[in-house]
Amino acid sequence: MNKVALITGATRGIGREIAIVLAENGYDIAINYRKENEDLINIKKEIENKKVKFLAVQGDVSNFEDCEKFTKEVIQVYGKIDVLINNAGITKDTLLVRMKKEDFKQVIDVNLIGTYNVTKNVINYMIKAHSGKIINISSIVGISGNAGQTNYAASKAGIIGFTKSLAKEVAPRNILVNAVAPGFIETSMTNVLKDEVKENILKQIPLNRIGTAKEVANVVKFLTSEDSLYITGQVINVDGGMLM
Ligand code: NAP
């Protein structure tokens, strides 16, 4: 029987690549989506080509009832969740002087409360199974801070605190909880940045290039594997040396 991974925000970007890499490693895949679109059709095809099962469940991570519903659906279909990847995330960048309360709240609601909403609905199954792995996608700006991202950096710092606290709570239940903190990765989230901003960021990356979603996915794969069974409560930066 294959292991089962639930990955949020996997219709595109880093989440999509995580779903593909885990499928290549024999996981049956469940992802959530907000609206049916081309991206969803593409990831479905991509995963099914890997000869593992694919399930798409509808729901917004910032809505607790949605998460309760789609988690139950995954359990009904697959009977278990071995690995949870909390990846769904958004940005709404602007300086605090211009940031509206809704822009602050929306980013916290999706990135941080979303991580709570899904984990809260999955954790009981993992506790019953006395096994599980949770990987939360944070960001190096949750550690360093970044002008124009008070909302996003707060949400990503919150994810780190959440990760470490939960890791301590559930270690006796044989559940590992870690965070991955990407630096600057090429996806639709970063494609929208102006060339000038991108060039400025590039200057701060010792490896002198933007990272790929696959490079993040490979670290997630390691954290889901049998090679990382003594690692919990950690934040692994995947950032080309940007934060060292
Ligand atoms: P992306 O390309 O914009 O993809 C974001 C994914 O999250 C999409 O699948 C999107 O689905 C989903 N999503 C957004 N809001 C959602 C919600 N409320 N409920 C359910 N799904 C939702 O972003 P990415 O660059 O791959 O980022 C993935 C994660 O990595 C995020 O947590 C991000 O903060 C983190 N990260 C990215 C970078 C980077 O440089 N790219 C760096 C550090 C950390 P829809 O299609 O429905 O919108």
pLDDT digits (tens, 9 = 90+) for 31-40: 999 999 999 9
* Confidence at residue 7, expressed as pLDDT on a 0 to 100 scale: 98
Cβ of 149 less than 6 Å from ligand 1 = no
Q: Tokens at residue 244, please?
A: 């060292």
Q: Tokens at residue 29, please?
A: 């895949």
Tell me whether residue 244 is in a domain. Answer: no
Query: Which ligand 1 atom minimizes the distance to the CA of 10?
Result: 9
172 CA to centre of ligand 1 in angstroms? 31
114 CA to centre of ligand 1 in angstroms? 12
* Confidence at residue 97, expressed as pLDDT on a 0 to 100 scale: 98
Average per-residue pLDDT for the chain: 98
Tell me whether residue 190 is in a domain. Answer: yes
Cβ of 240 less than 6 Å from ligand 1 = no
Tell me whether residue 243 is in a domain. Answer: no
* Confidence at residue 129, expressed as pLDDT on a 0 to 100 scale: 98
Number of domains in the chain: 1
Cβ of 62 less than 6 Å from ligand 1 = yes
pLDDT, tens digit, 9 for 90 and up, residues 182-215? 999 999 999 998 999 999 999 999 999 999 999 9
pLDDT, tens digit, 9 for 90 and up, residues 60-77? 999 999 999 999 999 999
**Which percentage of the chain shows pLDDT scores above 90?**
98
Tell me whether residue 139 is in a domain. Answer: yes
Whole-structure pTM over 0.85, yes or no?
yes
Tell me whether residue 230 is in a domain. Answer: yes
Q: What is the CATH number of the domain that holds 185?
A: 3.40.50.720
Cβ of 76 less than 6 Å from ligand 1 = no
189 CA to centre of ligand 1 in angstroms? 7
Band (pLDDT 50/70/90 cuts) for residue 96 is: very high
SS3 content of the chain, % helix, strand, coil (to 5): 50, 15, 30
Cβ of 85 less than 6 Å from ligand 1 = no
Band (pLDDT 50/70/90 cuts) for residue 107 is: very high
Find the mean pLDDT for residues 219-239: 98
Length of the chain measured in residues: 244
Q: Specify whether 152 is catalytic.
A: yes
Tell me whether residue 214 is in a domain. Answer: yes
Structural domain boundaries, residue 65? 4-238
CA nearest 179: which of 142, 211, 205, 212? 142
Protein residue with least CA distance to atom 28, ligand 1 = 14
Strand (E) positions, 93-234?
132-137, 175-182
* Position 151, amino acid: N
pLDDT, tens digit, 9 for 90 and up, residues 110-146? 999 999 999 999 999 999 999 999 999 999 999 999 9
Question: Which of 78, 125, 152, 230 does the annotation list as catalytic?
Answer: 152
Tell me whether residue 104 is in a domain. Answer: yes
Find the mean pLDDT for residues 209-232: 98
